[in-house]
A and B are shown apart, each in its own frame.
Chain A
Amino acid sequence: MSRDGTPRTLGLIVLALLVCGQLLPQWMLFLVTVALAKGLVVLGLMILLRCGLVSFGQALYYCIGAYAAGMLGRLFGVSDVFTLMLAGMAAAGLAGFVLGFLLARYRSIFFGLLSLAISMILYGLLVKTEALGSSDGFHVLPSTLLGLRPADAWVRYAVLAVAAVAALVAAVLVHRYLGTPLGRLAPAIKDNEIRVEYMGASARHAIHVKYVIAAALAGLGGALAATTVGHIDPEMAYWTTSGEFIFITILAGTGNVIAPFLGALIFGIIQTVAFGISPNTWQMVLGGSLLAVIVFLPNGLWSLFRGRKAA
């Protein structure tokens, strides 16, 4: 068997990011950090997609993570970025655990639409909640790193570094999980649940576990996005946000845990460049690029790398 090179590659990418990050312009640091936050959400979607489940409502957990982090600062004055990330992850994971009892019973379009409906309920609630700023949302406290506040010029780099390390840890853990018997069950669940049950495993239990992992990852991504952007609003739970995550998932492909982050970064770059070129029709450029990927790389951008490796 060939040695598993993914953790090593991930480590090298993050190392390169930490070194080069010091040279990148501020807007680029922002773009990469947001891409890492979205990549975490997509990493969770990838786990679900491997068992054939498409969640049209992953923004629910992204938003829960962001609001958990934001409210911790607003209500208790907590600004430590690690605490905020853990809180976002825990809140989303807990919500995923509870909702998982319902959602793990459903498959295909029913699963997709039910997840969409729940995320829209949260959106509706947040828009109507004045205490949380209604549709305007609220500002998130400037975050600190273990009690320290970096100099203004280094804030973006510091957040990027934290995001990169968080993404690295999450990606390596998910990679390891995908290699366990429970992780490997995903394509089997997608293919034939009857057989899974008759082999002595519970498909529903496996999906529930995957759903909680995906929710926690989305919560972590949401908390990271909240600290990076410095502002949160109900749009984070809106269906277009969920659509964006699915967009990135298709763009990236499900071949490897690196793919979601690569996909999110390329999504961010296309979005920024397209917006710069034509501020009114940038969505068309985005749509066109997704179309091109679907036609020419049906397994996503990651197939470019896999193809080269196999050759």
Chain B
Amino acid sequence: MAAILDAQGLSKNFGAVTAASDINAAIERDSVVGLIGTNGAGKTTFINMITGYLKPDRGRIRYEGRDITGLAPRDVTRLGICRSFQIPQLYASLTAFENMLVGIGVVLRNAGRGGFLSRGRALVPGHDLAAEDVAERILERFGLADYRDRNAQVLPGGVRKLLDIALTMVARPKILLLDEPTSGVSAEEKFAIMEMIMAAVRAEGTTVLFVEHDMEVVSRFAERVLAFYDGRIIADAAPEIALADPEVKRYVVGGVLRA
């Protein structure tokens, strides 16, 4: 399979702290990759560099054969790379439905539709439906229909998490980076929520990279694992191989793997 995303020699230092050191990873189209590692290992720095929040000190990022190193987050997003956040980033004063409409509005605007001079209801590119219908459909797919008219700031933690991910889907991303999609979600709900997210996202044929601390979730959903330690990738393999790696066991999993 062809690589949709190719990170070559990425390095990033914050003063004396090395957050990323010579990271090389080619992500294949249509794959699901789990990023594991302890806190401070460099997972979020990796995501931040790909999505343009941080500019790498060295190295290049190629996406669909194009160099996207150092592009601003909005430009990376427009190219089809979207992300969710460890702490959901929502529009707190708006309802779940309005949150979706704002996102769809941006998609319309970037496609030059629904502007000041346009007449009638514009169809959302990629969905070929009116904005309201797209919002309804995505909310439904993420099991959020019941929360449609509630303000984002009063939604329960797990629902906020789902809405954060649902928001990324309005642009029909080619690559989706999920930063700890199940953090703050109870152990019993983790699998159900991941199942729902994966079903909704994979139905669009999106390539997924997700950061996860729960190794059971990783082994179940990831096709490939990138294990981070001290700013480096110490293992890059299928879950069963990566999680059995002695270095990964020692630095990431903590010795005992509950499989």
Contact = CB atoms under 8 A, between A and B. Distances in A.
A255 to B, nearest CB: 14
Among B101, B109, B115, B167, find the residue whose CB has the most chain A CB atoms closer than 10 A: B109
A191 B92 contact: yes
Contact of B89 (A181, A190, A195): A195
Given A188-B94, A199-B167, A202-B74, A194 B89 contact: yes
A199 B77 contact: yes
Interface of B: 51, 72-75, 77-78, 82-83, 89-94, 98, 101-103, 105-110, 114-116, 132, 167, 170-171
Nearest to A186: B102
Classify the interface of chain B: helix, strand, loop or mixed. Answer: helix
Given A191-B94, A199-B103, 14 more contacts: A180-B114, A181-B109, A184-B101, A187-B91, A195-B90, A197-B73, A198-B74, A198-B89, A199-B106, A199-B167, A200-B107, A200-B110, A201-B74, A202-B74
Contact of A191 (B82, B93, B108, B115): B93
30 contacts: A180-B109, A180-B115, A180-B116, A181-B106, A181-B114, A182-B115, A184-B101, A184-B102, A185-B102, A187-B91, A187-B102, A188-B91, A191-B90, A191-B92, A192-B89, A192-B91, A194-B89, A195-B91, A195-B167, A197-B72, A197-B77, A198-B83, A199-B103, A199-B107, A199-B167, A200-B75, A200-B78, A200-B106, A200-B110, A202-B72
Interface of A: 1, 176-177, 180-182, 184-185, 187-188, 190-192, 194-202
A191 B99 CA distance: 11
B134 to A, nearest CB: 13
Contacts, number: 81
A185 B105 contact: yes
A80 B74 CA distance: 46
A285 B101 CA distance: 43
B150 to A, nearest CB: 15
Nearest to B171: A200
Contacts of B98: 187
Contacts of B72: 197, 202
